[in-house]
Amino acid sequence: MTFVQIIDCRTSRYEDMNRLMDDWVAATEGKRTATHSIVGRDRGQDGHYVEIVEFPSYEDAMRNSELPETDRIFAEMVALCDGMPTFTDLDVVRDEQLNRTTARRFFEDVARDGDLGLMDELFTTDYRHHDIGKEEPTVVGLDAMRSDVEGWRDAFDFSFTLHSQLAEGDEIATRWTWRGTHQGDFMGHQPTGQEVAMEGTTTFRFQDGKIAEGWWIYDMLGLQRQLESGPV
């Protein structure tokens, strides 16, 4: 079970504290068990900071606290604080990855099931679309994206298998396999009823909870070869 520790402190020397945290990251490289750290500053109270540190489990957190580098940095951190920091230990019982869920809704509800009306909810109106399979690789505007989805759905009856999703900052990368039945005109290929497949990766950048930009990388050449050569 994922474990999270919340460290609450007050300090008038945040820049020194920040450098101290950088020192800890460098000193514990290859040793620490912490996987994610976020530091927030209280907008309502000057000098009030909260750090949220994530670990794979409580046991991993305990191993992390036993590192000599952690003991040293903690002692120096206390000296920079206006009073003793407080700690809250939490076992994570729900981890809602909202951007990942939004990305999955596009692949499953919009692209696969055809609910194109949902695109206004999932995308910004000035969505930027980057597609290596197009002559014009970058297009701005949700209407262009909607037209693209309609074109694929007219040409194929298809589904996506989503293998993994990786998150970094405001971006979600999804690795997928697409399988379809060729049922309409596609780039000069008349419908054949043929079963085809390809793999790809899509990276979405989010803004205020909506998809603002997307990069599509997939094997278009392999797909065309399948349409030309016969069943996979």
Q: How confident is the model at residue 168 (pLDDT cuts 50, 70, 90)?
A: confident
pLDDT of residue 138: 85
| 204 pLDDT above the threshold of 90 | yes
- All residues at 6 or more sequence positions from 110 whose CB lies less than 8 Å from its CB, including other chains: 116, 118, 119, 122, 149
Q: What percent of the chain has pLDDT over 90?
A: 71
**Which has the closest alpha carbon to 179: 163, 154, 153, 160?**
160
Average pLDDT over residues 165-194: 92
The confidence score (pLDDT) of residue 95 equals: 78
pLDDT of residue 114: 94
Mean pLDDT, rounded, for 64-88? 91
Domain ranges of the chain: 3-91, 98-229
pLDDT of residue 232: 47
98-142: pLDDT as tens digits? 899 999 999 999 999 999 999 999 999 999 999 887 777 788 899
> Could you tell me which CATH number the domain at 98-229 has?
3.10.450.50
Domains 3-91 and 98-229 equal at CATH topology level? no
Q: What is the DSSP string of the chain?
A: --EEEEEEEE-S-HHHHHHHHHHHHHHTTTT----EEEEEE-SSSTTEEEEEEEESSHHHHHHHHTSHHHHHHHHHHHHHSSS--EEEEEE-S----HHHHHHHHIIIIIIIT--GGGHHHHEEEEEEEEETTSSS-EEESHHHHHHHHHHHHHHEEEEEEEEEEEEETTEEEEEEEEEEEE-S-BTTBPP---EEEEEEEEEEEEETTEEEEEEEEE-HHHHHHHHHH---
Regarding the domain delimited by 3-91, which CATH topology (the fold level of the hierarchy) does it fall under? Alpha-Beta Plaits (3.30.70)
Read off the pLDDT of residues 12-61 as tens digits, 9 standing for 90 and up.
999 999 999 999 899 899 889 999 899 999 999 999 999 999 999 999 99
At 199 the pLDDT is 96
pLDDT at residue number 158: 95
Question: Do 120 and 140 contact (CB within 8 A), yes or no?
Answer: no
